[in-house]
Amino acid sequence: MSNPEGAAKWAAAFIQDSWKDVMIGEATEAAMKETLLKYTTASVRWTVDGELLAVDKLAKYCAQLRGRMQSVKVEVHDLITEKQDGYTKLANRHICYFLRTDGSTVSNECFQIMKIDNDGLITEAVEVARNFDDSRDGDGENSQG
């Protein structure tokens, strides 16, 4: 990630690929933890809407969402990367467009700041997200996935 353009391309692909991998698949906590550990350290500190989740709690949180999703399209809209000594900071805004297993749809806008180690694993993350355009309730503001 020595040049900014290369870093941005890597980061956008990382966000898109990891979201697709995390949201689609077997919906057990064990399977989810295995998936998460492709992208995070075992000691990751991930804060979602103000709640700090260790990897086991993060796996439980994501598994319940994963079981309801059939497909996801991810668009990265804003992205900043900064190489530090021993890690990379990544700030981004992305939108996920989900098709649920029941045929309904929902969109999710997410703002994230992540710290990624030199092995490409997330060590810390803070995110705030909101759902919108939920076909089940009309507007979807702050609805659950």
Q: Residue 27 sits in a domain of what CATH number?
A: 3.10.450.50
Number of domains in the chain: 1
pLDDT digits (tens, 9 = 90+) for 81-136: 999 888 999 999 999 999 999 999 999 999 999 999 999 999 999 999 999 999 99
Q: Is residue 103 part of a domain?
A: yes
| Residue (of 129, 103, 125) closest to 115 by Cα position | 125
pLDDT digits (tens, 9 = 90+) for 27-41: 899 999 999 999 999
Q: Is residue 140 part of a domain?
A: no
